[in-house]
Chains A and B, each alone.
Chain A
Amino acid sequence: MRGILSVIAVATSLFAGYLDAKEIDFNRDIRPLLSDRCFACHGPDEADREADLRLDVEEVAKESAIVPGDVQASELVARITIEDPDLRMPPEESGKSLSPDEVELLTRWVAEGAPYQQHWAYVPPQKHDIPEVEEASWPVNWIDPFIFDRLTREGLSPSQGADRVTLIRRLSFDLLGLPPTPQEVTDFTHDETEQAYELLVDRLLESPHYGERMAVYWLDLVRYADTVGYHGDQDHSISPYRDYVINAFNRNLSFDQFTREQLAGDLIEGSNIEQKLATGYNRLLQTSHEGGVQPKEYLAIYAADRVRNVSAVWLGATMGCCQCHDHKFDPFTMKDFYSMEAFFADVDEAQHFKVGGNSLPTNRPPELELPTDEQSQQLEELNNAITACEAQLKDANEETKAPLEERLKELKSRRDDVKRSVRRSMITVALAEPRTVRVLPRGNWLDDSGPVVGPSVPEFMGRLDSERPTRLDLANWLTNAEEGAGLLTARVMVNRLWYLCFGSGLASDLDDFGGQGHPPVHPELLDNLAIEFVESGWDIKYILKLIMMSRTYRQSSLDTAELREHDPLNWLYGRQSRFRLPAEMVRDTALAISGLLVTKIDGDSIRPYQPEGYYRHLNFPTRTYTADTDERQWRRGVYMHWQRQFLHPMLKAFDAPSREECTAQRPRSNTPLAALTLLNDPTFVEASRVFASRVLTEAGDTTDARLDFVFQQALSRNPDELERSVLTELLNRSRADLQEHPDAATALLDVGLAPHHDDLDPIELAAWTSVTRSVLNLNETITRN
């Protein structure tokens, strides 16, 4: 780690050399410098503004520090070049500095007239002409010329198309989060028709597992979890919301309607049950009923949490900064923050301070009860019986009274049992009287001196024509492309869809479209996609298909020396990306390959094996984790019980977030703890032994045939000679060891609840379990490329 600063210095200076030859682009080259080095003191935040100078507003800057075209007369240039360290900007105590190249760049910019541009994210997207490219046969659809053109201008060429096996694996992971079966691979690779690829995309988009895959991403954004998060971290009732999300993606609910239903489904005229469940969104944040919490403080905490999430999910904005002060880099003010809070001031959420309780699940009214037909019927029958019993009791004499009372007690207890087993889900109910929202000075909830604010959208983005706009008005504004923030929302969302298809966004900061986020490398493409998204009727499947049909998506992910050298991070998309699967998919893939996967959609959260005692630090109440003992054990990761304070160690080892805040992009770590998990977690060991029993029962009798089977299941290909020999050697040596220690085989085969194949030779099965275990641990198995 040492000596890194010099590396960066070299990198930036080389980079500046590159810039010499190019035109200065304000949003790409200048704004990031001004934002990072200057705006903290000379930017939007009035309270901290020094010397009454702001550089973020062109007119104001050019009235004072910048004289366009006149470097000598520009105080900005003087102050960044002056020798005297007391006068030089940025000041030393800011911890910021400008390199000589950056000084030169700013000077050149002033000399060239200091042209400003509005911040790219707040300029509504415009439709751009599709570039004409020489290689007319390369583009499949209009996405491709943008990519090709840029590559050509950088002197680069796109990559070859990926082979068909890679394509079907890529599509399966991207759209379903599952590997393809060998049969699916064969069908696709043998389909010679022109439409084969498109038909495959269509088929995958129609799979019910598509919704599960998309939900994994959405649930990170909205911080869905099964527990309250604070203090006792009790379970709360919310899994029907998760099912709503899966279902919404599966039926391709338009994104604008998806937005409306989550933020304000309860306010939609004649809203149905699904729309009411959708409003669980407003209840996903962390809550507490710890003894000693002050409701006023926690309502302030909840409100701020909500503003952070809404602004991150829909606007790609970091409004959280404005809880205490105007934004340092973007034009959001404190008033905007609290006005955004005010939209949600009608959310009924204070009841739990009184009735929360340390039960599992705890109470978080208002909740919607969702009895099954059977439960409804049982309840009706029990209610009738109770009514009848009560009537009889009225006429009872001394003799008949006691047995009737006994019966009534029993009936009521049975009814309680049924009621308890009914699924519930937190929803939004609007209070008749919304809470008063004030601007809290420095975010201090004890300070009531700030002005009262009503709901309104960030001032610089427009306003709503209504005396007291509602959550529904907000949702409509967020998705109104003509008069609201719709095109910005669209840009944020298509950028994330692109990320799901390439592993990186066109704008790389998926959650910060502000001045400190990196501007997009392909702004025109992003614009056109955003407009297309709106024009398609906010059709997510349509956009995904559009991207996946492109030649750009279908490229090989193999690095060439040229691309690695010129575009190591693949900002130009001259190839596809390769990256480790998200945590849930690592699980799902092992289960799918082994044949254990249970593909049921929806339901209560499930509990896979987990190290004993992992919840011992939880209290109120103390917690004992009981792993599921039925088919729920082998369901997909998206259904795993999400304990915020102690996320399942497998999920954690593979970078799943605790879902306390919005996560738009998970890190992709590569650690010893992840290795230990994949090697030793009983879920993976069990999958390996079940996989091995499939090898012995479904593949041929020769080692070669069996290895082919293993590789086809896991990697959709046959092993090469070296792979064959490494695994054959592993098999033979394991077998030899096991023959000397047959009890070791029994112990290994006893891992997990999946039924045993008693007819199979345990030594052979255990030896093959070594092989399957090693294959489940391969980088290739858990990598999408």
Chain B
Amino acid sequence: MNDLQTILNRRTFLSGTGVGLGSVALSSLMNNELGAGMLPHHAAKAKRVIFLCMAGGPSHLETFDYRPKLAEMDGQPMPASFTAGQPIAQLQGKELKCQGPLTKFGRYGESDQEMSDFLPWHHKLADDIAIIRSMVTEQINHDPAHTFMNTGTAISGRPSMGAWVNYGLGDEKSDLPGFVVMTSVGGRNPQPIASRQWDAGFLPSRFQGVELNSSGDPVHYVSNPPGVTMSEQRRLIDAVNRLNAHRNEQVQNPEVATRIAAYEMAFRMQSSVPELVDVSDEPQHILDMYGAQPGDGSYASNCLMARRLAERGVKFIHLYHRGWDHHGDLVRYMNICCGLTDKPTWALLTDLKQRGMLDDTLVIWGGEFGRTPMFQGKGGIGRDHHIKGFSMWMAGGGVRGGVTHGSTDDLGYNAVEDVVHVRDLHATMLHLLGINHKRFSVPYQGLDMRLTGVEESRVLQNILS
């Protein structure tokens, strides 16, 4: 929020003679200070992103990727040609055998998209979503895999994609943070999720994700202390700002102007956040559509909140639903997880659509990885972590619905056709937001850091509308 202020301060540079710094030092300094610069690079299709993270790693083989050959091979040894020398998680040293699909698939919509019967509400979205069946990632354990999905690398300290988007497109005048995160539970014993997943890394910390809590203060410390009314709080902030401004007449410290603005914004947040989370203005049929019970912290309520955040100009809305880590008893837990997420996801897309917002809202669904075609039996039939091929989908904001992109091999192990790396997903997301991923960089430790890193990455042209 102090960018403008910073520019004004730095203008002093322009009128002065400067001091003995190299010009590179100077320009990188300016870049560092001044945010993303000339954005958008091209006309944006999407104004915001809602990322529905199915944390734990849903099975592609029971959602969007039907492999008849795998069904045929059920119970037989997994051919070593697939697995030799490949990273593997809990199945290390175990006998590897094929596990056929644990549910039926059908074809839905005019586009005939193939989906499993775990996702009946998704069937109605068949013509809206672009299914990617050829995702690959590089990390096989949850925590680093989330880090990889969010930052494009497993190295700590890099900004998450939400922070990048907020940095590039965030409206710093908004009464709400530009990047909001919500987490729900239900399913197998949920994997932890670390706040580093929404960290700003080396970007200024004001671009980090702000967690919206379902109980207690929706944002930390957003409520007045006990016994303090809003008018008392207002009076106190007025006094603080007046004293700061008065003092600043002597010291002329630009930070003070920023602090005064921060206190104003803080006060506005004390109203805008409660107003945001108060869903009493939602008609009953909308609550029913999502299946949301106000204040229950469910994925359904979070989907509704995602729409409300989208309406209020938030740029990146990240929902985590944990509980998709189905090492065992996969059918039971798929029923639970899909039961909790399938309909609300449909409701979110449908609600956005009926408000004309799906056109400029990019929605992305998927986990940090997929699951093995091989059997794991940790309490009933299940599957282990798998990174060489899995499924995600994208919808809205410039995405062509009703298409299926890429495929895995016959056994659903390796993505083989139109392989989509996490970097490609990032590049595509940025592209839809009007950002050229190659030109969206920030100098840090001597490098021009990008969300998509230094390896090649490409925009998925054929899922664009």
| Residue A266, interface by CB 8 Å | no
* Complex CA–CA separation, A783 to B254 (angstroms): 13
| Residue A138, interface by CB 8 Å | no
Interchain CB contact (< 8 A) of B239 among A292, A508, A730, A737:
A730
| Residue B9, interface by CB 8 Å | yes
Contact status B221-A32, CB under 8 Å: no
| Residue B258, interface by CB 8 Å | yes
Beta-carbon contacts under 8 Å, A1-48 to B: 1-5, 7-8, 10-12, 14-16, 18-19, 22, 28-29, 32-33, 35-36
Contact with B along A667-699 (1 / 0, CB 8 A): 101111111110111100100000000000000
Given contacts A15-B26, A292-B385, A785-B251, contact A778 B219 (CB under 8 A): no
Contact status B445-A512, CB under 8 Å: yes
| Residue B75, interface by CB 8 Å | no
Contact with A along B192-215 (1 / 0, CB 8 A): 111110010000111000100101
Interface size on A, residues (CB 8 A): 133
Instruction: Find chain A residues with CB under 8 A from B82 CB.
Output: none
Given contacts A28-B20, A670-B262, A778-B240, contact A751 B25 (CB under 8 A): no
| Residue B228, interface by CB 8 Å | yes
Interchain CB contact (< 8 A) of B220 among A105, A578, A673, A744:
A673
B211 CB to closest chain A CB, in angstroms?
Answer: 9
* Complex CA–CA separation, A329 to B85 (angstroms): 34
Contact status B22-A32, CB under 8 Å: yes
* Complex CA–CA separation, A746 to B226 (angstroms): 9
B452 CB to closest chain A CB, in angstroms?
Answer: 12
Contact status B38-A2, CB under 8 Å: yes
Beta-carbon contacts under 8 Å, A610-633 to B: 611-614, 617-620
* Complex CA–CA separation, A311 to B16 (angstroms): 37
Contact status A723-B27, CB under 8 Å: no
| Residue A660, interface by CB 8 Å | yes
Interchain CB contact (< 8 A) of A645 among B35, B144, B196, B205:
B196
* Complex CA–CA separation, A297 to B138 (angstroms): 12
Beta-carbon contacts under 8 Å, A748-780 to B: 748-751, 766, 770, 773-774, 777-780
Interchain CB contact (< 8 A) of A680 among B2, B15, B223:
B223
Contact status B256-A681, CB under 8 Å: no
Instruction: Find chain B residues with CB under 8 A from A679 CB.
Output: 221, 224-225, 233, 236-237, 263, 266
Interchain CB contact (< 8 A) of B12 among A565, A578, A766, A773:
A565
| Residue B24, interface by CB 8 Å | yes
Which of B97-105, B126-134, B183-191, B389-397 has 4 or more CB atoms under 8 Å from chain A? Answer: B183-191
Contact status A660-B156, CB under 8 Å: yes
* Complex CA–CA separation, A283 to B196 (angstroms): 21
Given contacts A11-B13, A517-B446, A676-B219, contact A744 B22 (CB under 8 A): no
Given contacts A4-B38, A676-B266, contact A723 B446 (CB under 8 A): no
Which of A78-86, A194-202, A386-394, A567-575 has 4 or more CB atoms under 8 Å from chain B? Answer: A567-575
Beta-carbon contacts under 8 Å, B224-282 to A: 224-229, 231-233, 235-237, 239-240, 242-244, 246-248, 250-253, 255-256, 258-259, 262-263, 265-266, 269-270
Instruction: Find chain B residues with CB under 8 A from A733 CB.
Output: 235
| Residue B73, interface by CB 8 Å | no
Given contacts A566-B19, A645-B192, A660-B156, contact A5 B37 (CB under 8 A): yes
Given contacts A14-B14, A565-B16, contact A617 B183 (CB under 8 A): yes
Complex: chain B residue closest to A560, CB-CB: B252
| Residue B155, interface by CB 8 Å | yes
Instruction: Find chain A residues with CB under 8 A from B263 CB.
Output: 672, 675, 679, 777
| Residue A519, interface by CB 8 Å | yes
Contact status B141-A292, CB under 8 Å: yes
Interchain CB contact (< 8 A) of B222 among A14, A644, A680:
A680
Contact status A8-B31, CB under 8 Å: yes
A569 CB to closest chain B CB, in angstroms?
Answer: 8
* Complex CA–CA separation, A564 to B3 (angstroms): 18
Contact status A566-B21, CB under 8 Å: no
Beta-carbon contacts under 8 Å, A275-299 to B: 286, 288, 290-294, 297
| Residue A558, interface by CB 8 Å | yes
Contact status A655-B87, CB under 8 Å: no
Interchain CB contact (< 8 A) of A95 among B10, B34, B269, B441:
B441
Instruction: Find chain B residues with CB under 8 A from A292 CB.
Output: 89-90, 92, 140-141, 384-385
| Residue A205, interface by CB 8 Å | no
* Complex CA–CA separation, A556 to B265 (angstroms): 32
Contact status B228-A744, CB under 8 Å: yes
Instruction: Find chain B residues with CB under 8 A from A746 CB.
Output: 227
| Residue A136, interface by CB 8 Å | no
B223 CB to closest chain A CB, in angstroms?
Answer: 6
* Complex CA–CA separation, A139 to B189 (angstroms): 67
* Complex CA–CA separation, A593 to B217 (angstroms): 28
A650 CB to closest chain B CB, in angstroms?
Answer: 8
Contact status A95-B439, CB under 8 Å: yes
Instruction: Find chain B residues with CB under 8 A from A16 CB.
Output: 23
Contact status A647-B195, CB under 8 Å: yes
Instruction: Find chain A residues with CB under 8 A from B286 CB.
Output: none
* Complex CA–CA separation, A611 to B213 (angstroms): 10
* Complex CA–CA separation, A435 to B242 (angstroms): 63
Contact status B222-A661, CB under 8 Å: no
A505 CB to closest chain B CB, in angstroms?
Answer: 13
Contact with A along B284-324 (1 / 0, CB 8 A): 00000000000000000000000000000000000000100
* Complex CA–CA separation, A277 to B54 (angstroms): 42
Given contacts A18-B18, A564-B12, A680-B224, contact A580 B37 (CB under 8 A): no
Contact with A along B363-396 (1 / 0, CB 8 A): 0000000000000000000001100000000000
Instruction: Find chain B residues with CB under 8 A from A559 CB.
Output: 251-253
Known: A11-B27, A677-B221. 11 other contacts (CB 8 A): A1-B39, A32-B22, A33-B22, A154-B19, A292-B385, A578-B251, A670-B259, A672-B265, A673-B219, A737-B232, A770-B236
Interface of A with B (CB < 8 Å)? 1-5, 7-8, 10-12, 14-16, 18-19, 22, 28-29, 32-33, 35-36, 93, 95-96, 101-102, 105, 154, 230-233, 286, 288, 290-294, 297, 318, 320, 328-329, 446, 508-509, 511-512, 514-519, 521, 558-559, 564-569, 571-572, 578-580, 611-614, 617-620, 644-647, 649, 652-653, 655, 658, 660-661, 667, 669-677, 679-682, 685, 722-723, 726-727, 729-730, 733-734, 737, 741, 743-751, 766, 770, 773-774, 777-780, 783, 785
Interface of B with A (CB < 8 Å)? 1-3, 7, 9-31, 34-39, 85, 87-90, 92, 140-144, 155-157, 183, 189-196, 199, 204-206, 210, 213, 215-217, 219-229, 231-233, 235-237, 239-240, 242-244, 246-248, 250-253, 255-256, 258-259, 262-263, 265-266, 269-270, 322, 384-385, 438-439, 441, 445-448
